[in-house]
Amino acid sequence: MNSTEQVKRGLKKRYAKERRFRIYGMVAVFVGFAFLAVLLLDIGSKAVPAFQQSYIKLDVNFNAEKLALPSDGELTDKALRSANYRGIVKQALYDEFPEVTKRRDKRDLTGLISSGASWQLRDVLTAKPDLLGTTQTVWVLADDDVDTYIKIGGGTGRINKKEAAWIDRLVAENRVEKRFNWMFFTSGDSREPELAGIQSALMGSVYTILVTFFLSVPLGLAAAICLEEFAPQNRWTDLIEININNLAAVPSIVFGLLGLAVYINFFGLPRSAPLVGGMVLMLMTLPTIIITSRAAIKSVPPSIKEAALGLGASKMQSVFHYVVPLAMPGILTGAIIGMAQALGESAPLLMIGMVAFIVDTPAGILDSATVLPVQIYLWADSPERAFIAKTSAAIIVLLIFLITMNALAIMLRKKFERNW
Q: Is the dihedral of CA 101, 104, 109, 110 positive or negative?
A: positive
In the chain, the amino acid numbered 24 is: Y
Every domain of the chain and the residues it spans? 3-48, 51-188, 199-416
- Please name the helix (run of DSSP H) or strand (run of DSSP E) that holds residue 135, with its range, or none: strand 135-141
CATH 1.10.3720.10 holds for 199-416? yes
Q: Is the dihedral of CA 413, 414, 418, 420 positive or negative?
A: positive
In sequence order, the β-bridge partners of residue 176 are: 56
pLDDT, mean of residues 116-121: 90
- Enumerate residues 6+ apart whose C-beta is below 8 A from 90: 106, 110
The pLDDT of residue 340 is: 86
Phi, psi of 136 (to 5 degrees): -125, 145
User: Whole-angstrom Cα distance, residue 150 to residue 153?
Assistant: 5
Predicted confidence (pLDDT) per residue in 49-81, tens digit? 899 999 999 999 988 888 888 766 567 888 888
The pLDDT of residue 154 is: 66
In the chain, the amino acid numbered 241 is: E
**Per-position DSSP letters for 5-72, written without gaps between them:** HHHHHHHHHHHHHHHHHHHHHHHHHHHHHHHHHHHHHHHHHHHGGGGEEEEEEEEEE--TTTTT--SS
Question: What angle do helix axes 274-298 and 199-225 make, rounded to 10 degrees?
Answer: 40
The pLDDT of residue 420 is: 59
In the chain, the amino acid numbered 193 is: P
Predicted confidence (pLDDT) per residue in 164-197, tens digit? 999 999 999 999 999 999 999 999 888 888 899 9
User: Whole-angstrom Cα distance, residue 56 to residue 176?
Assistant: 5
User: Whole-angstrom Cα distance, residue 55 to residue 174?
Assistant: 11
User: Whole-angstrom Cα distance, residue 359 to residue 104?
Assistant: 32
In the chain, the amino acid numbered 201 is: A
Judged against a pLDDT cut of 90, whether residue 337 lies above it is answered with no
Largest Cα–Cα distance of the chain, in whole Å? 117
The pLDDT of residue 155 is: 60
The number of CA neighbours under 13 Å toward the Cβ of 79 is: 14
The pLDDT of residue 334 is: 86
